[in-house]
Amino acid sequence: MNFNEAEVIRALSSVFATPDVRVLVGIGDDAAVVAPLGNVVVTTDMAVQDVHFRLDWSSAYDIGRKITVANLADIYAMGADPTHLILALSLTGDESMEWILELARGITHEADRVGASVVGGDLARSSNITIAMTALGSVLTPIRRSGASAFEKIYLSSLPGWSAAGLSILQRGANVSTLPPTAKIALEKFRSPLLDVERAHNFRSATSMCDISDSLMTQGEQMAHASQCAFRLDRTLFENHQDFEPLIELASEMSLDVWDWILGGGEDHVFMATGKNLEGLHVGEIEEGIGLHILGMKKAPDTWRHFT
């Protein structure tokens, strides 16, 4: 054992210290007390060692960033602004204090970017590392998955598939030096997905929205059924994005189908939104009917999933 619980709590309290005036009682009491703003939005997410992250693939700093972005993206997908985070952490006892501090610094890096504060949590011992985070946000009128209507358009905040590309590189043990330079970008986006806060704000006028971190295919289908509409995507429209050519080049070098990454990959934290005249990548139309339909798709992509 490299530390005791009191040492970890003191260290984390130092990293997570905040001047946020909305925090009336922070870390150190039985529970936090925060001042509510508007309607409170709550979400939670969990990352399990060797399921959602591997210590030989990602640094503690990257892992902290990744779990934080996963929570923040769900807040933004509701049209809300994140305010506070709560962290529950299980450790094996074999970690160094520096590893724990780097995890905390990764979390605060992403929290600071959006003006959120870590206000409390829990610590336990386990056979592997588990990171559970709850995010709080505020919103006046939430944007739900069920608000789309026929004759609107479908938009993406960016081109999905980069995180899946990075995962493919790691799973295959590919030599990055033999791949196009964009392979390094794919690895970075797998280890620390980028949250496009500006585009999330631009989508505030959307009629429906979702963070498609469980794949475009899976969550596009969920949105279509929630809205009782037919979502029709046109694959040729995806090619208009500047990232399409470098992504398809990387897929070709690895003898893989780029559409498995774009349509079936997860953990990019790209937002899918519906409406009219939104800023973003226009990828399809909404029609009367039900379900998700993709023009020109001859085979279903291999989709990201929690359980196999």
Residue extents of the structural domains in the chain = 5-139, 153-295
Q: Residue ranges of the chain with pLDDT lower than 70?
A: 1, 30, 299-300, 302-308
User: Which whole-number Å values give the CA distances from 168 to 55, 190, 191, 255, in the listed order?
Assistant: 17, 10, 12, 11
Is residue 206 within 8 A of residue 275, CB to CB? The reply is yes
Q: Tell me if the pTM is above 0.75.
A: yes
Rounded to a whole number of angstroms, the CA Rg of the chain reads: 20
- Secondary-structure breakdown of the chain: helix, strand, coil percentages, each rounded to the nearest 5: 35, 25, 35
CATH 3.40.190.10 given to domain 5-139: no
pLDDT score, position 14: 80
Structure token pair of residue 58: 């990602």
The matching CATH number, chosen from 3.30.565.10, 3.20.20.140, 3.90.650.10, 3.40.50.970, for 153-295 is 3.90.650.10
Q: Which of left, alpha, beta for 267 (phi over 0: left; psi -120 to 50: alpha)?
A: left
DSSP SS3 for 128: coil
Q: Per-residue DSSP letters for 47-95? A: EEBTTTB-TTTS-HHHHHHHHHHHHHHHHHHTT-EEEEEEEEEEE-S-S
CA-to-CA distance for 153 and 148, rounded, in angstroms? 9
> Which phi and psi angles does 34 have, rounded to 5°?
-125, 155
CA-to-CA distance for 88 and 107, rounded, in angstroms? 12
CA torsion 70-156-109-86 (nearest 10°) is: -30
pLDDT score, position 296: 79
**Which H or E run contains 282?**
strand 281-287
